[in-house]
Amino acid sequence: MSRFFSAWHRNLRILLIPEKLSHVLTVALPNAPAASATTEEKTAYQQKADEYSLIQSGMLYAMEPDLQKRFESMPTNEIIADLQTVFAPQARAEAYEASEAFFTAKMEEHSSLSEHVVKMSGCVQRLEALDLKIPPTLAVDRVL
């Protein structure tokens, strides 16, 4: 499950970065301007509020119904923080298991080289899915 959160979160950031909206995931919407604020300030705030609302709706749309209900009244930054709190320990344990499998894997004597390469490639892909990048030279060295 944590792998799915990592992928979902990465995809969400990929969508928001070009639009310069990734801050919505980490920064709370500021308070509304006072009634005495200028029209420009009120318009700027409304534009920000609309951005936050659109992104929150997109986040909720991509969730299971139970999570939608849980998070529908929360701001985007709190949704992300809560999900990270839930999934971070699981992701850490999964990352440990994946890295242990990668670094302890050995080719059995008289076994197929191609099977070993496929197994090691799967380990690298699993690590990358967990946002743990293995440099290509290290991956090749471990396979050999």
Residues 71-80: pLDDT tens digits? 999 999 999 9
Q: What share of the chain is helix, strand, coil (3-state, %, to 5)?
A: 70, 0, 30
Residue 4 has pLDDT above 80, yes or no: no
Percent of the chain with pLDDT over 70: 98
- Range 104-133 average pLDDT: 84
pLDDT level of residue 111 (50, 70, 90 thresholds): confident
Task: Report the 10 Å Cβ neighbour count for 116.
Answer: 16
pLDDT level of residue 2 (50, 70, 90 thresholds): low
Task: Report the 10 Å Cβ neighbour count for 55.
Answer: 20
Q: Per-residue pLDDT tens for 44-86?
A: 999 999 999 999 999 999 888 998 999 999 999 999 999 888 8
